[in-house]
Amino acid sequence: MKIVFFSAKAYDREFFESCNEGYGFELEFWETHLGPHIADAVKEGTDAVCVFVNDKLNAEVIEVLAQKGVKIIALRCAGFNNVDLDAAKQYGIRVCRVPAYSPEAVAEHAVAMLLTLNRKTHKAYNRVREQNFSLSGLMGFNLFGKTVGVIGTGKIGAAFCKIMLGFGCKVLAYDPFDNKSLKSAGVKYMPFHEVIKDADVISLHCPLTSENHYLIGAGSLSAMKKGVTLINTSRGGLIHTREVIEALKTGQVAALGIDVYEQEEKLFFKDLSGSIIGDDDIQRLISFPNVLVTGHQAFFTQEALTEIAESTLGTVKAILEGGDIGEGAVLV
Ligand code: NAD
């Protein structure tokens, strides 16, 4: 049974090869993204392709994979907005993902971004290295007592809510489905517009769908409290980049932390330090002193990578050979 990995990095190889000792699949690691440019290079005899957040599996790619005899598309991530599920169904290809892997990894990164932006530890680090011990410009605010709005209270959002409750924040949430245990822990569910109107900090933890594309744009930004801190560790397409740039210029958004970015597939997971970047929006974002961009690293902990490898190979085996499949792992 052969699995070809796309967008594979050294750490993917390390964690999957170690986990594969218990499975015995034939693994092949390709550095390139999967997309229309390369789909035809997949060889017959490939049972599964294993892909990540920025691989593009549209109908054209899926048709080619089906012709090659690929039976499974295994996403080694939770989000699946980059796969045309209808096309996969049409061509009889199963699609699976990792529904849950250390949600705390992502939630903790969202908190790290919030604390960095608020307490300006990134600036303090550089300042002190230059023997500048001045505090000017480093003032933050107490999170204790502040109102935090959480959009999406699935596994990651729930972990984030619990951390914020631990900080002594008032936590408001919007999700089409209430989580009873969060409610009894003190989280108050409200309609989306009520949450964003009252929150000092807003963190996005919902998946990107066709309905919530640009959930955060000029309209919702102007409905927020002036000086809001906005954190997005979910998907770049939830935020209209140019409109959030305008909101940063007016101070409507006081600080922005993003681990995901609309056009990230051209940038993230690559060392572009010697390149001229043509994307003016990311350059503008990086130029703000109150914007923190990380390159889709929220998931990147040892625990999460171990769980991703185990869950991915376990689900592929269960699909191919029959067996128990974890809840939410199979999409098609
Ligand atoms: P999940 O499926 O457990 O929870 C998602 C929640 O969002 C659900 O409760 C759902 O009801 C809710 N939801 C759906 N549409 C909504 C909307 N329009 N508004 C508000 N809530 C909505 O997913 P999860 O494991 O918590 O992951 C959340 C997202 O985090 C993923 O979809 C993915 O995009 C992102 N993610 C990012 C990283 C990273 O490294 N940055 C890693 C993993 C996941």
CA pair distance 329, 332, nearest whole angstrom: 9
Does 100 have pLDDT greater than 90? no
- The residues near 153 (Cβ < 8 Å, ≥ 6 apart) are 161, 173, 175, 178, 179, 182, 187, 205
Catalytic position from the list 108, 262, 264, 265:
264
pLDDT exceeds cutoff 90 at 48: yes
Q: How confident is the model at residue 332 (pLDDT cuts 50, 70, 90)?
A: very high
Of 251, 275, 293, give the one whose Cα is nearest residue 113.
293
The whole-number average pLDDT for the span 131-149 is 98
Distance from CA of residue 146 to its chain's centroid?
25
Q: Residue 180 has what pLDDT?
A: 98
Closest CA to 49 of 19, 22, 28: 28
**Over residues 193-219, mean pLDDT:** 97
Residue 289 above 90 pLDDT? yes
**Residue of minimum CA distance from atom 16 in ligand 1:** 206
Q: Is 313 in the pocket of ligand 1 (CB under 6 A)?
A: no
Q: How many CA atoms lie within 13 A of 259 on its CB side?
A: 23
Q: Which of 11, 206, 214, 259 to mutate to test the pocket of ligand 1 (most atoms within 8 A of CB)?
A: 206
**Among protein residues, the one whose CA lies closest to atom 15 of ligand 1:** 206
- Residue 258 has φ and ψ, to the nearest 5°, of -130, 130
The residues near 184 (Cβ < 8 Å, ≥ 6 apart) are none
Q: Which residue has its alpha carbon closest to ligand 1 atom 21? A: 152
* Cα pseudo-dihedral 300, 104, 234, 319, rounded to 10: 80
235 catalytically annotated: yes
Model confidence at 322: pLDDT above 90: no
Query: Is the C-beta atom of 174 inside 6 A of ligand 1?
Result: yes
The pLDDT, as a whole number, for residue 323 is 84
What per-residue confidence (pLDDT) applies to 110? 98
**Could you say which of 76, 235, 262, 265 is catalytic?**
235
DSSP string, 76-120: SSS--TTB-HHHHHHTT-EEE----S-HHHHHHHHHHHHHHHHH-
Report how far ligand 1's centroid is from the alpha carbon of 319 (Å).
24
pLDDT in tens, 247-278: 999 999 999 999 999 999 999 999 999 999 99
Domains, the chain, ordered by start:
2-101+301-321 (3.40.50.720), 103-293 (3.40.50.720)
Instruction: State which amino acid sits at residue 236.
Output: G
Residue 69 has which token pair? Answer: 């005899």
pLDDT for position 300: 97
Region class of 214: left (phi > 0), else alpha (psi between -120 and 50), else beta: left
> With 90 as the cut, is the pLDDT of residue 324 above it?
no
- Quick check: 201 pLDDT over 90? yes
Give the predicted TM-score (pTM) of the model. 0.92
For 104, other C-beta atoms within 10 Å of its C-beta total 18
Kindly state the tokens that stand for 297.
């690293």
Expressed in angstroms and rounded, the spacing between residue 140 Cα and the centre of ligand 1 is 29
Please state, for a pLDDT cut of 90, what percent of the chain lies above it: 96
Residue 54 near ligand 1, beta carbon < 6 Å: no
Q: Which amino acid is at 2?
A: K
Structure tokens, 64: 């080619």
Of 12, 153, 156, the residue with max ligand 1 atoms within 8 A of its CB, to mutate for a pocket test, comes to: 156
91-95, 120-124, 241-245, 321-325 — which is least confidently predicted? 321-325
Nearest to 46 by CA among 20, 27, 24, 19: 27
Active site residue 264: yes
Give me the mean pLDDT over the 78-96 stretch: 96
Tokens of 234: 């979910």
Give the number of the atom of ligand 1 that is nearest the alpha carbon of residue 259: 41
Look at residue 173 in the predicted model and tell me its pLDDT: 98
* Tally of CA atoms within 13 A in the half-sphere of 220 that contains its CB: 20
Is residue 288 over pLDDT 90?
yes
Q: Which of 106, 202, 297 to mutate to test the pocket of ligand 1 (most atoms within 8 A of CB)?
A: 106
Q: What is the pLDDT of residues 165-192, one digit of tens each?
A: 999 999 999 999 999 999 999 999 999 9
- Over range 305-332, report the average pLDDT: 94
Q: List, edge to edge, every strand of the sheet that includes 72-75.
A: 26-29, 2-5, 48-51, 72-75, 94-96
Among the listed residues 254, 268, 261, 202, the one whose alpha carbon sits nearest the alpha carbon of residue 235: 261
